[in-house]
Structure 1
């Protein structure tokens, strides 16, 4: 997850002793990300279709400031990074900002407490709010009357949520989107602990409250919870150890789960089927018969050896191959469970009426692969070739975005110190040395307090350095994400 003890502080979250004990325990657990299903395609591979949404999120617009507000899954996660990465590569001229508004351990009451100071001050014009994992409880179920516990947790969550709704409705300039989070996976056998058996039913009740609130307020609702739960159920039929919700704790999806989450969100925005590029060249007539999101010109040669210039309006979506913070699988593992390449990452090259049997594909003079003429006629997805110059360009965007996200996660680590510990103990002025002294005293009985991070992060110079670093990386991304012209050659082999 993030630098702040890879748990990213996800546990129960109320500021009383019972909740704090739960949070400390769960903070320690693994982290990372969840999965989905056939949210967009018709491939048969234990995927689930997201179907049509009653409340569909809209595509982000130029100059938007979009904040995802949630708990540690948002704080230390990457789903929002992958969503922005898609936009950086698919819409290279559409510049806007995505902000991480997660704080590890939060329940909706904690989000309510920090709305004005932490969220509204960032001036978002779109807020995507998600909660429920911590709200649905953990250690509270260590009692004989679990029904009463569940009722109390749901009541507390609903009551605090009403306060949040009231505050959000006081800001008509902000678009509000509700998003259910990844599910608590009670059924996987791949996690050693037995799990909190009543928790899933409580979580479901909270999700239903979110759905009702979205309808009542005419807000879009993005249902991550049920689609990921369905994928869990389907895959566990053949692999009982399968889970999308965290192989260490049933809670925190790993990076592949976050990529699935991003896929689900992008599909909900209606982006399924939007190509990177799609074109067909008739080798016999040396002309294009169709093009989408690209330009083809300077077609030369014949049906044996053909060349042309290719300029796309987008870059392919680069797939994260790295394991982050204890991942058992890289984000690329998501491709086993979702048809991302078919639905969101098609860079289709088609060449018809070639006379040979097999051809070499070269781009800018470099050999990419060898294809049968029949396959070229049907179409090949160049986004699946990781050595193309356009894919390598996109991978540089991924790396820059990952670096940006790392800096931003540190700012959220600092936010945990402020909102989980300083504010919870009556500290209001983080730059006051008396506040630092009080936090040092609290540290004696609370191992999760990081005095160095709190004091360093409270320094305006540090905050400026963080922001300057992120701004510089974002500027670099948008200066580097524009597609360039490439020469494509098809050379007959036999």
Structure 2
């Protein structure tokens, strides 16, 4: 293994067991079972973020015969006292079997850190947050059939030098909430995963090379796509899914024998003088990585950029292809007559990760799933914009779910002075009509059904032909 990759894996393993008040920062959290209904509950980092969508994409491609549903229950700007008021409508009424809850960024306040008594004010914020959390904790305790996971939220970046506006000590306050979540999870026998400390440590390592590095370039709060993918990585790792390969097989060319095969089937193996052919059926697809910076808070980085920060490819995306006892030389690899690469016999003997090749037919199949999942994500965001408008504006006016002209008139009073409402208002005036929400919901369901129809791996014809004769 490359020494840099090994060092990064070792570094992250150490991070994974940092203590919080004497407790392990990461508790093992259950992987999702077939048929699971998962709700990720949180603030804007969940509302507009991709981490839960990236997690679902892993399950869509790695476990094609185990469909699950993942639902976004994030609302921008909310603290835990806001979340507790919508638990029934936005969480429990969706009949979840698994609930993940994160909070802390908004709970700890913002402008108070510019005041002389910031420490005292932040302590008051923390007390209020944890007081409301106790109410949620009691509600969750009563839901015996639901798996519960608490997530220590992503950090407020105080260390990057990309600008000079920093709310000092804010992340220290967030960490106190993270530690309280950790304590609660242990007390209740729930799962816990900390995004905060590992992301801080990754940032500090990167800032040694580039002082302006940050996951949250727009505002020190909202992680870009690379940060969202790191969050997905940390969650999947806490579920114990690292080391779960797409597939793995070893062929002895000299004896024309399949020595080992895991999560795949090799058949019709044939060795001729300068060529090796066989049929390959994996039982999973490689994880597709998006190279486009998707929508969000001024996003500049892509999901794929996270591969420079965490060993996701090494731990989660191995489609390991190995051939020993080939004649020394260079071989042309094709899959279904598609040229993939020219590879030396030494490389083949060491093993090749086919997931590194986006042009393979199986990767191209996975890309279709990625784009469908992205379309689903965009439709789901419309619902989140609608609910953000309901809970952020209409609830305090006594017009929650009124969805009538009176509600529109009230929102129009806010429009001139609220930039965020102006961005979401167009979705509200559509989503206020139940017929439109039904169409959107049916469309999302159709996308998910299509994903689980086309995510089944198929047999591919693999050919290795020596080319340096």
1:48 counterpart (12, 15, 27): 12
Residue aligning to 2:454: 480
Residue aligning to 1:351: 323
* SS at structure 2 position matched to 1:371: strand
1:256 aligns with 2:226: yes
Deviations 1:380-436 (A, max 9, x none): 000001110000000010000000000001110111001111112221342343333
Residue aligning to 1:156: 128
* SS at structure 1 position matched to 2:266: strand
1:208 aligns with 2:199: no
Q: Which has the higher contact order (CA 8 A, sep 6+)?
A: 1
Structure 1's 289 and 114: CA in aligned 2 closer, same or farther, altered over 3 A?
same
1:113 aligns with 2:77: no
1:420 aligns with 2:392: yes
Within a 5 Å distance, the mapping from 1:282-293 to structure 2 comes to 282-293=252-263
Deviations 1:428-479 (A, max 9, x none): 3423433333333444554543544323212110110110110011011011
* SS at structure 1 position matched to 2:171: helix
Residue aligning to 1:138: 110
Residue aligning to 1:298: 268
1:195 aligns with 2:166: yes
Residue aligning to 2:21: none
Residue aligning to 2:361: 389
Per the normalisation by structure 1, the TM-score is: 0.88
Deviation at 1:136, TM superposition (A): 1.4
Aligned CA-pair RMSD: 1.6
Structure 1's 451 and 259: CA in aligned 2 closer, same or farther, altered over 3 A?
closer
Task: Work out the CA distance in 2 between the residues paired with 1:414 and 1:477.
Answer: 26
Task: Work out the CA distance in 1 between the residues paired with 2:307 and 2:345.
Answer: 27
1:87 counterpart (43, 56, 59): 59
Residue aligning to 2:188: 217
Task: Work out the CA distance in 2 between the residues paired with 1:296 and 1:48.
Answer: 35
2:430 counterpart (428, 444, 456): 456
Residue aligning to 1:465: 439
Residue aligning to 2:333: 361
1:72 aligns with 2:44: yes
Q: Is the 8 A contact 1:57 1:177 kept in 2?
A: yes
Per the normalisation by structure 2, the TM-score is: 0.93
- Consecutive unaligned residues of structure 1, counting only runs of 5 or more, are 1-40
- Consecutive unaligned residues of structure 2, counting only runs of 5 or more, are 18-23
Within a 5 Å distance, the mapping from 1:278-357 to structure 2 comes to 278-302=248-272, 304-325=274-295, 326-357=298-329
Deviation at 1:327, TM superposition (A): 2.2
Task: Work out the CA distance in 1 between the residues paired with 2:8 and 2:408.
Answer: 57
Task: Work out the CA distance in 1 between the residues paired with 2:271 and 2:107.
Answer: 65
Runs (4 or more) in structure 1 with deviation over 6 Å come to: none
1:409 aligns with 2:381: yes
Deviation at 1:203, TM superposition (A): 1.1
Within a 5 Å distance, the mapping from 1:3-42 to structure 2 comes to 42=6
Structure 1's 81 and 429: CA in aligned 2 closer, same or farther, altered over 3 A?
closer
Q: Is the 8 A contact 1:43 1:339 kept in 2?
A: no
**Higher mean C-alpha deviation, range 323-332 or range 206-215:** 323-332
* SS at structure 1 position matched to 2:12: coil
2:29 counterpart (53, 57, 82): 57
* SS at structure 2 position matched to 1:48: helix
Task: Work out the CA distance in 2 between the residues paired with 1:460 and 1:439.
Answer: 19
Q: Is the 8 A contact 1:133 1:203 kept in 2?
A: yes
Task: Work out the CA distance in 1 between the residues paired with 2:8 and 2:113.
Answer: 39
Task: Work out the CA distance in 2 between the residues paired with 1:174 and 1:48.
Answer: 30
Task: Work out the CA distance in 2 between the residues paired with 1:448 and 1:327.
Answer: 17
* SS at structure 1 position matched to 2:103: coil
Work out the number of aligned pairs and report it. 452
Q: Is the 8 A contact 2:37 2:70 kept in 1?
A: yes
Residue aligning to 2:200: 229
Within a 5 Å distance, the mapping from 1:264-275 to structure 2 comes to 264-275=234-245
Task: Work out the CA distance in 2 between the residues paired with 1:172 and 1:61.
Answer: 17
Residue aligning to 1:489: 463
Deviation at 1:303, TM superposition (A): 5.5
